Structure 1
Amino acid sequence: MGIKGLLPFVARASRKGAITEFKGKTIAVDVSCLLHRSFTGCAFDVAQGKRSQVYINLIRRYIDLLLRLECHVILVFDGQPLPAKKDTNQRRSQSRSHNLELGLICMENGDRAQAFKHFQMSAGITPDIVQHAIEEFRTILNVDIIVAPYEADAQLAHLIKSGIADAVVTEDSDLIPFGCETIIFKLKEDSSCVIYERKLLHKCVNRGLASKFNFDVFRRICIMSGCDYFPDGIPKVGLQKSVN
């Protein structure tokens, strides 16, 4: 959904923790977030359509961290583009193409540093990158792989709501309005993380609203403040103004 300011808004429903709290649990991983993060280290390869071990190694480190805790890991990949986000996806695609062109121009001019910046902004997850990752991890014991019908968000939320997974590892705050009960943000290799719990979300609104907090209303507020499905939102209506 791309909701601006959502993570700071839910600070009272979040706490510092450690992934060790989830030992033996089933953890769903939003792989797209890991892939996008890894592109900072392999932008040149991705821009040229080449496979890279950089994103494979990053995903593997997270898998290894969870497997050491005897977790069942479910890797969830994005599937087809969501029709409801056609305009947003088109703008992003145009931006990536434009940055790729600028990157190639910079390379021709010998400005490798500036080219790298443009290549980073041009990097996107391709079907071949997804296939590469699946090939690497599909045979690992206690690791399952799901390619969502469309975006991974809804699939991850379904895994939580149906009781298949106990928590989601992601950097995408969109999982909050999708209704995930427990989300693990900012997971580091030293096991530290930030743990969001939906049951504490009422603490993020003023006292007058807390007693009659309604998650469906909260979701609508997120949409009205501006998201991928309603990019401009309602003018001058943000999260804080909507709930206070």
Structure 2
Amino acid sequence: MGLAELRELIEPEETDLKALAGREIAIDAFNAMYQFLTTIMKDGRPLMDSRGRITSHLNGLLYRTVNLVEEGIKPVYVFDGEPPNLKRETLERRRERKEEAMEKLKRARTKEEREKYARQVARLDESLVEDAKRLLDLMGIPWVQAPSEGEAQCAYMARCGDVWAAGSQDYDSMLFGSPRLVRNITIVGKRRHPHTGEIVEVKPEIIRLEDVLKQLGLESREQLVDLAILLGTDYNPDGVPGIGPKRALQLIRKYGSLDELKDTDIWPKIERHLPVEPEELRRLFLEPEVIDDYELNWDEPDEERLVKFLVEERDFSEDRVRRAVERLKEALQELRKGGRQETLDTFL
């Protein structure tokens, strides 16, 4: 929703993981975990241990986080808290879609069908989230519990300079004010396209808020938020029917804000499709609920407790886990030895 509707007008900078060395990146944990649940599968189903507990998210967090640290990246994972009340409609729609997909999954006959519908029914319950936090603690990787939207917390940390960028697939990080968004950071490499089945090379992308505003011809983040509201956000999922990306951009460029549209003939149509006043919607992005009492420390992993958790409790291969831990230890030592690698872009 929102800025996703404007993808063709936004030009990301394609990069690679090595170019992100020395950067702290706040990763939207729920976003990343959904990726792991929907891509790390066997025979069209998520990975499970002998007791039927899902382990795809643990597999992804362990091995892909190790990969990031080996590239010199300092990841911190940010978990969602309580969503704003206005997001309830969006969440209810997602729940209904998952229930429909679950019925189709029960009738699926082929591996392709099972994979397709398994991706659609993936959900994060409290046990999966607690597993993820436990794993990160044992790995020595910091995580932050957001009071509300994880993306808002990531953006706040980036605005404060505590991290270099927010890491997410969603463009909403721009609306929340992150100066930089890194996409694809946890899915880098060759992947099968979920719709076409084609094998594609996925590379990280950097999107800068300043560049987005220039590309769209907008003067401020406030205008960007108003544009997204017209197209539809998690807080007003339908947007304004009949107003597409180009028309919405024309309106905001011409009038400057939703408030200035109140004296035009189009306002009654817009007002009918907004759940609350524009100012209240705008405030959710410009003044989101966040915390500032977090600490970002990358500590030594606890190898034996990791083995106990992943091998003894979740049926991981001990050899693979110990190799991953050794790689993580060495990578963290290199980070501490070399310190942060400053580049010219740090100051931009």
The interval holding the TM-score normalised by the smaller chain is 0.7 to 0.9
RMSD: 2.7
Residue 31 of structure 2 aligns with an amino acid whose one-letter code is: C
Inter-partner Cα distance in structure 1 for 2:85 and 2:181: 26
Q: How does 1:146-185 map to 2 (within 5 A)?
A: 146-185=144-183
Residue 183 of structure 2 aligns with an amino acid whose one-letter code is: F
Inter-partner Cα distance in structure 2 for 1:161 and 1:22: 18
2:131 maps to what in 1?
Answer: 132
Inter-partner Cα distance in structure 2 for 1:46 and 1:60: 14
Residue identity (%): 21
Residue 231 (structure 2) aligned to one of 209, 219, 225 = 225
- Measure how far apart 1:82 and its partner are: 3.1
Inter-partner Cα distance in structure 2 for 1:79 and 1:95: 22
Q: TM-score, normalised by structure 1?
A: 0.82
Inter-partner Cα distance in structure 2 for 1:151 and 1:125: 15
Residue 185 of structure 1 aligns with an amino acid whose one-letter code is: R
8 Å CA contact 2:2, 2:233 repeated in 1: yes
Q: How does 1:73-152 map to 2 (within 5 A)?
A: 73-104=75-106, 106=107, 114-141=113-140, 143-152=141-150
8 Å CA contact 2:152, 2:176 repeated in 1: yes
Larger radius of gyration: 2
Unaligned 5+ segments in structure 2 are 191-201, 251-348
2:208 maps to what in 1?
Answer: 197
Residue 134 of structure 2 aligns with an amino acid whose one-letter code is: E
Secondary structure of the equivalent of 1:196?
strand
1:63 maps to what in 2?
Answer: 65
- Measure how far apart 1:119 and its partner are: 2.9
Secondary structure of the equivalent of 2:176?
coil
Evaluate the alpha carbon distance shift between residue 139 and residue 227 of structure 1 in structure 2; reply closer, same or farther with a 3 A threshold: same
Evaluate the alpha carbon distance shift between residue 103 and residue 220 of structure 1 in structure 2; reply closer, same or farther with a 3 A threshold: same
Residue 23 (structure 1) aligned to one of 21, 24, 28 = 21
8 Å CA contact 2:86, 2:236 repeated in 1: no
Inter-partner Cα distance in structure 2 for 1:189 and 1:112: 22
- Measure how far apart 1:90 and its partner are: 1.0
Unaligned 5+ segments in structure 1 are none
Secondary structure of the equivalent of 1:235?
coil
Q: TM-score, normalised by structure 2?
A: 0.60
Residue 223 of structure 2 aligns with an amino acid whose one-letter code is: V
- Measure how far apart 1:201 and its partner are: 2.1
8 Å CA contact 1:78, 1:147 repeated in 2: yes
- Measure how far apart 1:74 and its partner are: 0.7
Secondary structure of the equivalent of 1:52?
coil
8 Å CA contact 1:9, 1:240 repeated in 2: no
Cα shift readout 1:123-171 (whole Å, capped 9, x = no counterpart): 1111111111112121223x20112222211111111112211112211
Cα shift readout 1:78-98 (whole Å, capped 9, x = no counterpart): 223432211111111122123
Tell me: higher relative CO, structure 1 or 2? Use CA pairs within 8 A at least 6 residues apart: 1
